[in-house]
Amino acid sequence: MNFNLKIWRQKNSHARGHFENYSVEGISPDTSFLEMLDILNDNLIRNGGSPVAFDHDCREGICGMCSLYINGEAHGPDSLVTTCQLFMRRFKDGSTITIEPWRHPAFPVIKDLVVDREAFDKIMQAGGYINVNTGGVPDANTIPVSKVNADLAMDAAACIGCGACVATCKNGSAMLFISARVSALSLLPQGKADAAMRVKAMIDEADKLGFGTCTNTRACEMECPKGIKISNIARLNREWLKAKFKD
Amino acid sequence: MAELNSKVPDGPLEEKWTRHKASIRVVSPGNKKKLEIIVVGTGLAGSSAAATLGELGYNVKVFCISDSPRRAHSIAAQGGINAAKNYQNDNDSVYRLFYDTIKGGDYRSREANVYRLAEVSNQIIDQCVAQGVPFAREYGGLLANRSFGGAQVSRTFYAKGQTGQQLLLGAYGALNRQIHAGTVKCYPRHEMLELVLINGEAKGIIARNLITGGLERFGANAVVLATGGYGNTYFLSTNAMNCNGSAAWRCYQKGAFFANPCFAQIHPTCIPVHGDQQSKLTLMSESLRNDGRIWVPKSLDDVKAIREGKLKGSEVPEGRRDYFLERRYPAFGNLVPRDVASRAAKERCDAGYGINSTGLAVFLDFNTTIEQHGVDYIKSRYGNLFQMYRKITDQDPYKEPMMIYPAIHYTMGGLWVDYDLETTIPGLYAIGEANFSDHGGNRLGASALMQGLADGYFILPYTIGDYLAGKIMEPHTDINSPEFDEAEKAVQGRIGKIFDVAGKTPVDYFHKKLGKIMWEYVGMERNEAGLEKAIEEIRALRTEFWKDVRVPDSQYEFNQEMEKALRVADFFDIGELMAMDALQRRESCGGHFRSEMQTPDGETLRDDKHYMYVSAWEYKGQGVEPEMHKEPLEFKYCKVAERNYKD
């Protein structure tokens, strides 16, 4: 298969970016999107050019490192996958593919398609955990958890922190990301003790970092590669209200 | 020659760790505040260690090459984590977990370390549950378990097919809490490029800021390496693209011994290689072998028809299928350890029974389970894995059996450590996959997560205290000392050298070529002639690399090709040492299969008389043969026997 590529190039966070056109030929339909970029970079390097920088690591959809905006969609046209599990068979032979980085003020571009997502870590550092030290905890089976809640918690905890929700949201909101963590922990008895503290700290931090608010358009849910539901945002709002009433 | 003293404490096996803990020194809270520790790596081992050390009051600096600690490749572990809880009342115990691990490792690991691992395994589950890890539950609210290879009990705790992710998020949460509290400072997108020794002790690192490209100096009272394994030497593996052996290799070149480098694990159930454009292999969790049955057709006619697309796997009648693991290993069936399952698949494919166009694939079939329990049963247990398989192969595994083939997955070898997890360099510790200590010649499934967290939460934080107790009067490490100057100069020299080549060929070309050599000669089956050839070819390829590699752009910017080039330069050296180690070990054990040493029915043939030791390699300088030391292994508490999974 052959493709025309229109790729965002930007030397560093201070430089002005622009689109550049490339083409790749002889791509197997079973090649993944990132492998297609590997092939492009191989050509660029062999011809004395500068390869396109893009984030990637596990290439099996779990690390959350890959982050491309492809033809106007986070992680491209396939649903429930990250870019690394998107295959070229999903594209029409000979078509033009536009590739951009996540775009959000809290995710500045480092180079080309690579962005800085430290803002997510900061939100997690503010309170995305249960306050327990190592050691001195009770036997695991002394805390029964209903299977229903354990499964719901697991579904929320499947978030990989890639940032597709933020990149997609017209308000640039991080609510789906925050709600995944808040839900996962508040659904479990272990997470009840510090639930109020957690939700307030995470929301405050997100506000400080410039993430927007949620207006329930559900775009984030549509683009989430892990199928995180916005019912988690409802749970987040409930947790936040509960916490505020306690103030 | 440095003494190889494993420092295993005296006393009966069950009391060693307790007695040791009682005898080692502790550091008072006031003094902990004065001490600094560097932790390199943020997978399960690194994150759990950094968090715990921070909680204890030490000043910790933690480094990761990704943009966030949560990206570390522990995140990709699927199936589960072992513990000797005996929640299933199936007669599990600390001793049984210990014994299974020793046997699974083919009697090439250290008894005392493995026993301690089994002993702290239960605490890990308690800790993770307290952190909110959403382990699978039964309807009564208690924890569920499943079985893994090499065990006849159900002791594996799991969170769907994302156990590694959930455990890492637990440790990442604990780490974040300490970052917030100010006891830990995190340096994402920083790569360790040198270890700094002062008076022979580990006192700091040189790291490259991967965004600016600048070299930065960091000093401490001790350094902990938690940088994972070197499986990417093979290029195609289940490791993440950025996994590398360079940090460990720097330590090796500074005097830390490298143990059992030839012990690499080949995982039986991965999605087969499809073509030359492929960059990565994807694992299908071992947990699938709980409910999946592995087979190839009995007749070559059926094989031919399947390859030509005239016959589907699902259409082959029961009587014409060869469930070769169940046939060869009736007692364990599809749940034999990974090395055994991998070799059995290779044996069938070598005999011409491989069922895809490349001839390198076998079936993993869920039909029996689906008939018994229905599709929903499979969906609830392995839904995400089935979805992943479908996305990658474009085939529906609910209807047609999966095609799988073995792939490089994990390295049991690593930096040599004593009972305290300290390397041969004082003040340098290695934890998790980066060390060698617990898995011998073959790691059992669901034991990597256990070991990473055991080291990080419960072992290292105690043992490092013993070392640091002697450092409370030590002056703050001066990063402007001549030792740091020299270390930085060495790094700059290596970087300069790689740009100076100014050749024509991208790094990946060399990495792929190295991978092919490794897989061919230092892979699932090895022999003397092949290993000698591998060493020769690796040396030739290294020469070619240093003549013709092209690293574009410059040092002082975000430069992924430069990162790769530095790592691949080390992979040549690592690959060579792996081959040398495989060459000296003229026996078959665990994942190391020397074709000259096998039983008449193709099983591994150990040579306990000559090879019951850990090989620990000492660096002697670039281009000089390294020296091999031996740590003899003693088995006092479990009977050394032929590894039998048949009856």
Instruction: Read off the CATH number of the domain in which B339 is found.
Output: 3.90.700.10
How sure is the predictor about B1, in pLDDT bands with cuts at 50, 70 and 90?
very low
Residues B387 and B505 in one domain: no
Give the residue from A57, A81, A104 showing the smallest Cα distance to B75.
Answer: A57
Average pLDDT over residues B215-239: 98
Does residue A142 surpass a pLDDT of 60? yes
Q: Which of B214, B252, B254, B203 is nearest to B481 (CA)?
A: B203
| Interior angle at CA B28, CA B22 and CA B31, nearest 5 | 140
pLDDT at B647: 78
- Residue B147 domain-assigned? no
**Residue A124 sits in the same domain as residue A234:** yes
Q: Are residues A85 and A132 in the same domain?
A: no
Q: Which of B350, B378, B409 is the last residue of a domain?
A: B409
> Which among A52, A76, A111 is the end of a domain?
A111
Burial of B300 by CB count in 10 Å (0-12 exposed, 13-18 middle, 19+ buried)? exposed
Report the distance separating Cα B383 and Cα B399, nearest Å: 14
CA B33 to CA B163: how far, in whole Å? 34
Range in A31-40, A197-206, B278-287, B434-443 with the lowest mean pLDDT: B278-287
Cα distance between residue B528 and residue A145, in whole Å:
55
User: Do residue B365 and residue B490 come from a single domain?
Assistant: no
Same-domain pairing of B380 and B521: no
Tokens matching residue B316:
């082959």
pLDDT number for residue B275: 83
CA B325 to chain centre: 25
User: Looking at the structure, do residues A241 and A222 belong to the same domain, yes or no?
Assistant: yes
- DSSP annotation of B14 reads G
Number of domains present in the structure of chain A: 2
Do B492 and B618 sit in the same domain of this protein? yes
A130 and A88, same structural domain? no
A96/A123 same-domain check: no
Chain A residue with minimum CA distance to B509: A42
Would residue B323 count as lying in a domain? yes
Residue B611 falls within a domain, yes or no? yes
Does position B526 have pLDDT exceeding 80, yes or no?
A: yes
Neighbour count for residue B323 (Cβ, 10 Å): 18
**Which candidate, B444, B456, B249, B273, places its Cα nearest to that of B358?**
B273
Question: Which amino acid would we find at residue A174?
Answer: A
As a whole number, mean pLDDT of residues A89-95 equals: 97
Please return the burial class of A194, using the count of CB atoms within 10 Å of its CB with bins 0-12, 13-18 and 19+: middle
Model confidence band, residue B420 (pLDDT cutoffs 50, 70, 90): very high
B445, part of any domain: no
Residue A187 near residue A229 (C-beta atoms within 8 A): no
- β partners of residue B37: B60, B222
**Burial per residue of B431-448, b for 16 or more beta-carbon CB atoms within 10 angstroms, e otherwise:** bbbbbbbbbbbbbbbbbb
pLDDT (mean) for B157-172? 96
- Distance linking the first and last C-alpha atoms of chain B: 45
- Residue where one domain finishes, among candidates A64, A82, A111: A111
Q: Taking phi first (over 0 means left), then psi (-120 to 50 degrees means alpha), and beta for anything else, what does residue B322 get? A: beta
The pLDDT of B257-283, averaged and rounded, is: 93
Residue B177 lies in a domain: no
Are A151 and A107 contained in the same domain?
no
Cross-chain Cβ contact A129/B131 below 8 Å: yes
Report the DSSP beta bridge partners of residue B265.
B410
Between chains, do B129 and A31 touch, taking CB under 8 Å as contact? no
Task: Please report, for the domain that includes residue A222, its CATH number.
Answer: 1.10.1060.10
Residue B380 has a pLDDT of 84
Per the structure, how many domains does chain B have? 2
Residue B383 pLDDT > 90: no
Across the strands, what pairs with B294? B364
CA distances from B65 to B145, B192, B522 (A): 34, 8, 28
User: Domain containing B313: what range?
Assistant: 267-409
Q: Of B155, B338, B348, B381, which residue is the catalytic one?
A: B338
Domain boundary among A95, A111, A127: A111
DSSP state of B137: B
- Which range, of A107-116, B26-35, B145-154, B573-582, averages the lowest pLDDT? B145-154
CATH number at residue A42: 3.10.20.30
Domain of B604, CATH number, reads 1.20.58.100
Determine the structural domain holding residue A224 and report its residue range.
117-246
A71 & A130 share domain: no
Q: Is B165 inside a domain boundary? A: no
* Min distance A186 CA to chain B CA atoms (Å): 9
To 10 degrees, what angle do helices B94-104 and B111-130 make?
120
pLDDT of the residue at B269 = 94
Same domain, B404 and B487: no
At residue B467, the 3 state secondary structure works out as helix
Residue B40 domain-assigned (yes or no): no
Instruction: Identify the domain boundary among B409, B435, B452.
Output: B409
- Same domain (yes/no): B285, B372: yes
d(CA B578, CA A217): 55
Looking at chain B, the whole-number percentage of residues with pLDDT higher than 70 is 100
Residues in A 80-139 with any Cβ partner in B closer than 8 A: 80-81, 85, 87, 89, 110-111, 114, 116-118, 120-121, 124-135, 137-139
Question: Is B2 a residue whose pLDDT tops 70?
Answer: no
> For residue A44, which phi and psi values (nearest 5 degrees)?
-60, -45
Both A73 and A164 in one domain: the answer is no
Indicate if the pLDDT at residue B3 is higher than 60: no
Residues A143 and A157 occupy one common structural domain: yes
Q: How many residues does chain B have?
A: 647
Residue B128 in contact with residue B167, Cβ under 8 Å? yes
Res B23: pLDDT = 97
Confidence (pTM): 0.98
Residue B277 has pLDDT above 90, yes or no: no
Contact A184, A176 (CB under 8 A): no
Q: Which of A38, A114, A153 sits opposite B558 (nearest CB)?
A: A114
**CA quadruple B262, B102, B428, B166: dihedral sign:** positive
Catalytic site includes residue B110? no
In this prediction, residue B644 carries a pLDDT of 84
Tell me if A35 and B504 make a contact (CB, 8 A cut-off). no
* ipTM score assigned to the predicted complex: 0.98
Does residue A36 surpass a pLDDT of 50? yes
Which residues on B lie below 8 Å from A133 (Cβ)? 55
The C-alpha angle with vertex B574 and arms to B260 and B38, in degrees rounded to 5, equals 85
Confidence of residue B79 (pLDDT cuts 50, 70, 90): confident
Give domain status of residue B306, yes or no: yes
Q: What is the pLDDT of residue B336?
A: 94
B605 has pLDDT over 60: yes
For A193-222, what is each residue's pLDDT tens digit?
A: 999 999 999 999 999 999 999 999 999 999
Average pLDDT over residues B216-243: 98
Mean pLDDT lowest for which of A92-101, A161-170, B207-216, B388-397? B388-397
- Domain's final residue, options B374, B409, B444: B409
- Decide if B173 and A65 are in contact by the 8 Å CB cutoff: no
Contacts of A125 in chain B (CB under 8 A): 176-177, 179-180
Radius of gyration of chain B (CA): 24
Local confidence band at A92 (pLDDT 50, 70, 90 cut-offs): very high
Same domain, yes or no, for A82 and A141?
Answer: no
